Amino acid sequence: SQELEQSPQSLIVQEGKNLTINCTSSKTLYGLYWYKQKYGEGLIFLMMLQKGGEEKSHEKITAKLDEKKQQSSLHITASQPSHAGIYLCGADYFSGTYKYIFGTGTRLKVLA
């Protein structure tokens, strides 16, 4: 089973609308990372969250990590076509050894 679940799998929004992408784990995470992938390019690092309850913002993108460090949300305010791409969460956790896993990805399309 997928260890890091992302929802929704895909999202189409009108320009200017807000949206939220979720990333959920069944395990307590050591660190949670959000990346963006533009079509045909490598991953771009967006944010890293490590403390329970932590929230970070960059321009119009805000990411939060819950207190239990098992769920994170990525919120985009007033979306723009430049926000389109695939958003991927990644996380590392310790289970005998450190392990790095990725979510399933969310495809975002923003209509102008």
Partner 1 sequence: SAVISQKPSRDICQRGTSLTIQCQVDSQVTMMFWYRQQPGQSLTLIATANQGSEATYESGFVIDKFPISRPNLTFSTLTVSNMSPEDSSIYLCSVGSGQETQYFGPGTRLLVL
Chain residues that interact with partner 1, rule: CB under 8 A: 31, 33, 35, 37, 39-45, 48, 86, 88, 90, 92, 100, 102, 104-105, 107
Nearer to partner 1, 41 or 59 (CB): 41
* Residues 6 or more apart in contact with residue 64 via CB below 8 angstroms: 49, 53, 54, 55, 72, 73, 75
Q: Rounded CA gap, 34 and 78, in Å?
A: 19
Nearer to partner 1, 16 or 25 (CB): 25
Nearer to partner 1, 13 or 86 (CB): 86
